[in-house]
Amino acid sequence: MSSRAAHHLRGCYPRALRATSALYMSSRFPSRCALPSTGRPVVFSQKKNWQSPRLQQFSASALHAAETKTICVPPMAESISEGVLATFNRQVGDFVEQDEEVASIETDKIDVAVNTSHSGTITKLLVNEGDTVTVGQAIVEINLEERNATSQSSSPPPQVEQASGSPEKATPRLQASIWEARSIPSQKPRKEITSVSTPTPLATPESVPNSQGPVSAFQGSRSETKVKMSRMRLRTAERLKESQNTAAFLTTFNEVDMSQVMMFRSQNKDDVLQKHGVKLGFMGPVARASALALREIPAINASIENEDTIVFRDYIDLSVAVATPKGLVTPVLRNMESRSIVEIEQGIAELGKKARDGKLTMDDLTGGSFTISNSGIWGSLFGTPIINIPQTAVLGIYGIQQRPVAIDGQVEVRPMMYTALTYDHRLVDGREAVTFLTLVKKYLENPASMLIA
């Protein structure tokens, strides 16, 4: 064979082999190969940002390991270093924004909110509800890239670019498998709640009414429920017992004719509500009368320090006893001596709302030189309040009731209210306590006298 013939065969063989291979690939993988008129196989290109499900899962796990942050217990106060984690507001799998509250910690005095420092998805709760936690302890783990990974996993499947002159498309089976792997996000298993109908129990002879009279609907039970005391309740109990063991308790009573105060309130409550946005109640006049009386009896606004030192104050910080579902708290209204009746009402309303919403801070609860406890809102007639140590006295006011009283030798029905002052007899003498209650009575029975005091 001549050299020219041999060269011709060597040039033709690869071309024939390539054509045969293209035909074979076209029959086996029609979505990847085609044989146009040129006789050369064409491989369809795909989008470069598409990854296989396995590779995508690997990338998400790598991001999870690299972008994990922990949320710790924030500083609470100088005197508070630990608390009980009361509730988690978010659970594993929830996405949280920056500065969003994820947990609440119950301390001896206030509830502390735990906010996130970053946005991300919660991947782990490091403690349980009811556990004792300390300042700086990690309680929640979040993944900063979880939302991005989720959005990528839910992106549509890759589109195959068709070459001109080739009508073939991806096989339906391949399209379905790609769509399942890429577009279906992971979901948490849902708990199915099925209602089970139980047969109605037959009536017992005791529950069947008879002709002798109706039967009570209450069914007695011997069950018991034990609930652990909250830290706030434990702290309150500790403080109250400490007060009883420390102070020399004594209580004195008086009664006040509230006719003039009620008339003053009815004449001005609408104007006060319209101008100042606060309801005019009875705490404002009582607090104002107490402030004026404390000016004249400074020992009741004082306290004992180090067992042998008396601290007299030139200011009056009023502690207002507020009952909340978690226990009794006493937020402080400062500089009460310089406030008007309306300003006192506004301050008390703000403190009461913060107490009910659990938004009190340590600044709201620290201090206080005198306490007023209003038990009349629940219908109490009178009582003996307990001193909020290290204070020296507490004034209790109670329900207003219509009672017959002697007025200028005549019996009249007036709205009367009992007042009680519990004081520490180590510092306050009986004469001073009685004088204080008498002054409060004088100011309340003649509200105009508070304007010139």
118 given a catalytic annotation? no
Residues with Cβ within 8 Å of residue 294, at least 6 apart in sequence: 300, 301, 316, 337, 370, 436
Residue from 86, 48, 90, 44 nearest 71 by CA: 90
Q: Is 425 part of the annotated catalytic residue set? A: yes
From 131, 270, 357, 429, active-site residue? 429
Active-site choice (64, 111, 118, 425)? 425
Catalytic residues, by residue number, are: 425, 429
